[in-house]
Each structure stands twice: as C-alpha cells, then as structure tokens.
Chains A and B, each alone.
Chain A
Amino acid sequence: QVQLVESGGGVVQPGRSLRLSCAVSGVPFTTYGMHWVRQAPGKGPEWVAATSYDGKHKYFAHSVQGRFTISRDNSRNTLYLHMDSLRAEDTAVYYCAGGYDALTQYWGQGTLVIVSS
C-alpha cells in the first residue's frame, strides 16, 4: 500500500522558519524523484520544489528560491522541506508527491501551513 504522510505544518509568524517532513512507504523511494507542491486556499496547485532520486539535483520555484530547501534521507524513506523567511503568501496546504522521472504519480494527504502574526 502506497503511503506518503506529511507532517510539520502549523501556524507560524512571518519571517520565521518551519520544516516539513514526508514519510514514504510502499514505493521504491530511492528510485523516485520527489516533489513538494502547495495549494493556497481556493487556488490551484503550485509546484514548489523537487529533488532527484539521489538528492544530487534540486530545483525550486522562483517564488521560493533562496528561502526554501529540499532534502531527502534515503535511509529513512523521508523527504523534507525547510522553509525560511516565511511570508503570508506561503500559506497553503503542502503536499509531497513522487514518481519516476518528474511525474507526481503519488501524493500525500497534505499538511497545512498558515503564516500569520
């Protein structure tokens, strides 16, 4: 059974940091590219960041470049998103997703991040 389980969301003040985690099971994690995708309330999905299967290559949306970091621990089948300098416009449900090549085949249930003072 494929499971992607995000955690770490919550309410955070502008300018602060937060780290999200995604525990993956039921798929060959070490061969999957992995992504973070977010969805603001009432909006469509927005791709945030991606990492290659081995973690050597990382990519970011322009809106988060320089503030967010993506990483993975293949020994723990876990994906991370470290978010610095958070802004109100970063408020969204954050999903982890993954699959072969760049396809977001499997998705987690999401974790809500609210940036508010």
Chain B
Amino acid sequence: DIQMTQSPSTLSASVGDRVTITCRASQSISGWVAWYQQKGGKAPKLLIHKASRLESGVPSRFSGSGSETEFTLTISSLQPDDFATYYCQQYETYSLLTFGGGTKVEIK
C-alpha cells in the first residue's frame, strides 16, 4: 500500500504569509496527487489535482508542485478564509486511495 506522509501536522501563520505543506509518497505515484481543504465538519474540497492543476474556482494563490514521491501545496499569501485543515491524497489507481495525515493551519 502507498503511504502518504504529510508535514507539518500543525502550522501557525499570519495573514499574508507564504505557507508550504509537504507530502511524501512511499513509492512513485507519477503525479497522481490531489490536495483538499476541509473546514468545520464539512466535506473536503478539492483544490489541486494531478499535482499542479488548479481546480476551477479555486483562488490562484493556491498552487501545487512535485513529482514521483515529493509534493507540495503552497499558499502564496494566506487569507483569513484559508485557516483550515489540508490533506494530500494519492489516487494513482482505484484500488487503494490514501490520504495524508493532515495539516492544520492556525492563526499565529
């Protein structure tokens, strides 16, 4: 099974900060990585797919990069609405999707 190791688990930042979250896959997944934002008991919301493709309607301050086993989500200038928990996910095949452990972005 492919494991996704996400770091940090918690991140304290201020409005306007540049924020980076990292996910490491236990084996190469050829860019089949998605990033989600989750707030307050709601369903995860897709931000990025195929490692770097911005989902329609998602602000351009969100970006994704990486390949093989190392992937990052960057928020270029943190906004008040961005304080949430973020998850990476690998979806290389239907047979076993896996999520990272999550990163909670808190107000500093």
* Cα(A44)–Cα(B102), bound, Å: 7
Contact A102 B97 (CB under 8 A): yes
Place the interface of chain A in its size category.
20 to 34
Partner of A46, one of B1, B45, B99: B99
Partner of B92, one of A50, A57, A102: A102
* Cα(A33)–Cα(B94), bound, Å: 8
Given A52-B94, A59-B94, A104-B34, A47:B43 Cβ within 8 A: no
Centre residue among B1, B43, B99 by max chain A CB count within 10 A: B43
One of A7-15, A20-28, A80-88, A107-115 at the interface: A107-115
Contact B87 A45 (CB under 8 A): yes
- Closest beta carbon of chain A to B99's beta carbon, Å: 5
Given A95-B43, A103-B34, A44:B94 Cβ within 8 A: no
Q: Does A31 contact B (CB under 8 A)?
A: no
Q: Does A105 contact B (CB under 8 A)?
A: yes
- Please name all residues of chain B whose beta carbon is closer than 8 Å to the beta carbon of A108 when the two chains form the complex: 43
Query: B65-108 toward A: CB 8 Å interface, digit per residue (1/0)?
Result: 00000000000000000000001010111111111111000000
